[in-house]
Amino acid sequence: MSFSSAAKHEIIHNKIGGQCCLAAELCAFLHLNGSIILGSGLSLMLRTEDPATARRVFTLLKALFGIHTGIAMKDSTKFKKGHIFELGVSGEETVKEILHRTGLMKGDAELFPGIAGGVVKKRCCRRAFLRGAFLAAGSVANPEKNYHLEFVTHSSVFAEDICRLLAGFGLHSKTVIRKGSPIVYLKDGEGIVEFLKLIGANNAILELENVRILKQVRNNVNRAVNCETANLQKTLDASYRQAGNIKYLEANYGFDKLSPQLRRIAELRLEYPDATLSELSELAEENIGKSGVNHRLRKLDEIAERIREKKGES
């Protein structure tokens, strides 16, 4: 089962909450998966590819309106494998009641394209709405691959309303048009965790957090390795510079003019070009320590520099 389906199956088994929340969740389903059919009388049709989601809608309709709809299973279109589950409600009065209660219809005939404020007035209902929207048209990528959660909507008004709802919970979503449909999406791992928390997908959060920790550890290790490589490069650059200066002194100044202490370090550096300062200090056997070695090497650099200047070579 995909990460997305697992998250959906988890929240389907959560308790729905009060009657207010039932209406909010159903409202999301109707907006995203529903269609109103005007044939001989008014009827409603809800479609989903997921049987568990179909059960959920069935439960909502039963709890809110006492309606027992049938669930019909049909083959998917030729482009897609699998099945489509359809729930139909007919009877003008019943359909109108559902549409009014979920804020989809204003007055007697006017349909409302966005999310009606009354349906999502309370915080609990806003969460229920987002849960319904995720079940109806949401998906979340496997966090191992990337952080991405999205809703496929049918109208930009509705997409903007979802963005606003998410923003109310501090989640910064973006929209993009894909194949003519406005898509609302979240891209940051933290935002996705927050969203999953809102809709009660706790197992999905655990899984995602594990992946995030692993990714973080991997990044930290990479950073540490890069940092060490950079330091090593710096050390090597310095020692090659020192060895170069010392060779220059040997040829243009003479080691016999150096103090015995400087000469010792100069010879050691030539002999061990890759040695670190502390390794050189051990090799010197003079108990001078790292900074003593560094001091002498700098002194050698200075002398070489002075002679170059004198010769007009620098």
Give residues in contact with Zn ion (CB under 5 A).
20-21, 122, 124-125
Q: How far is the CB of 198 from Zn ion (least distance, A)?
A: 13
Identity of the residue, 125 or 193, whose beta carbon is nearer to Zn ion in the bound complex: 125
Identity of the residue, 123 or 223, whose beta carbon is nearer to Zn ion in the bound complex: 123
Q: CA nearest 152: which of 177, 169, 128?
A: 177
Q: How far is the CB of 46 from Zn ion (least distance, A)?
A: 21
Q: How far is the CB of 22 from Zn ion (least distance, A)?
A: 8
Alpha helices in 107-201 (DSSP H): 123-137, 156-168, 189-198
Q: How far is the CB of 192 from Zn ion (least distance, A)?
A: 23
Identity of the residue, 85 or 195, whose beta carbon is nearer to Zn ion in the bound complex: 195
Identity of the residue, 21 or 44, whose beta carbon is nearer to Zn ion in the bound complex: 21
Do 87 and 45 form a contact (C-beta atoms < 8 A)? yes
d(CA 55, CA 48): 10
Identity of the residue, 20 or 288, whose beta carbon is nearer to Zn ion in the bound complex: 20
Do 11 and 136 form a contact (C-beta atoms < 8 A)? no
DSSP letters, 256-284, are GGS-HHHHHHHHHHHH-TT--HHHHHHHH
Q: How far is the CB of 23 from Zn ion (least distance, A)?
A: 8
Q: What does R_g of the chain's alpha carbons equal in angstroms?
A: 35
